[in-house]
Amino acid sequence: MSSPKQMPPEYYQQLEEIQMVDFAIVELNLYLDTHPDDYEAIKQFNSLTYESRKLKKNFEKQFGPLMHFGRSYSQYPWQWDDQPWPWQV
Amino acid sequence: MSNTYTKYYYPYISPFDPCKPIIRKSYPTPPQMYLGFQPPNLPQFEIKEALYRGTLWPALYSKYDKKDYRGEYDE
């Protein structure tokens, strides 16, 4: 039995891009907790959130769900338990 | 107080200490210790850069590099 399908390079590129955007979102989120009236930061936060959702939507169309319990769609057959799991990526 | 990434101190070395004496010890002093309340609109890293730097703002970036962090050395 040969090893399961290898993920294409785009898989890793898109994942890294999602990580980049999500890290900046976490930073801004924590910053905004203590600076609620920083308008520039909120604008940046919203634009990054929009970007993040777009990237994830595009990623999930190609490679299956990133999240479960209704936070991502799945194609047929059920993809949630497909490899690679997060620690196998 | 100069904001450095690491500060050092020199512990007392007892003549009866059986182990090899540690002359100098160090502790991390990252920038956020000197910053106080973060001012708005600080300059930011590029988003990709920020991921690898571990922070969105250069003012808060700290190396934490292993080599210098412990800084202990014996004789």
In a domain, B16, yes or no: no
Residue with tokens 């040969």: A2
Q: How far is A44 from chain B (nearest CA, A)?
A: 11
Q: Which of A27, A35, A40 sits opposite B56 (nearest CB)?
A: A27
The stretches of chain B forming alpha helices (DSSP H) are 32-35, 47-53, 66-70
A21 with B41: Cβ contact below 8 A: no
Number of domains making up chain A = 1
Determine the pLDDT at residue A28. 96
Q: Which of B40, B47, B55 sits opposite A21 (nearest CB)?
A: B47
Residue pLDDT, tens place only, B16-56: 999 988 888 888 889 988 888 999 999 999 999 999 999 99
| Complex prediction ipTM | 0.77
Given a contact cutoff of 8 angstroms between Cβ atoms, the answer to whether B5 and B68 are in contact is yes
Residue with tokens 């990623």: A59
Number of domains making up chain B = 1
A40 with B51: Cβ contact below 8 A: no
Instruction: State the pTM of this model.
Output: 0.82
> Confidence class of residue A20 from pLDDT cuts 50, 70 and 90?
very high
* Domain around B50: 30-35+42-62
| CA–CA dist A33, B60 (Å, integer) | 17
Residue pLDDT, tens place only, A56-71: 999 999 999 999 999 9
In a domain, B8, yes or no: no
**Does B48 contact A at CB distance below 8 Å?**
yes
User: Angle CA(B23)–CA(B25)–CA(B30) in degrees, nearest 5?
Assistant: 155
In a domain, A88, yes or no: no
In a domain, B50, yes or no: yes
* Domain around A52: 9-62
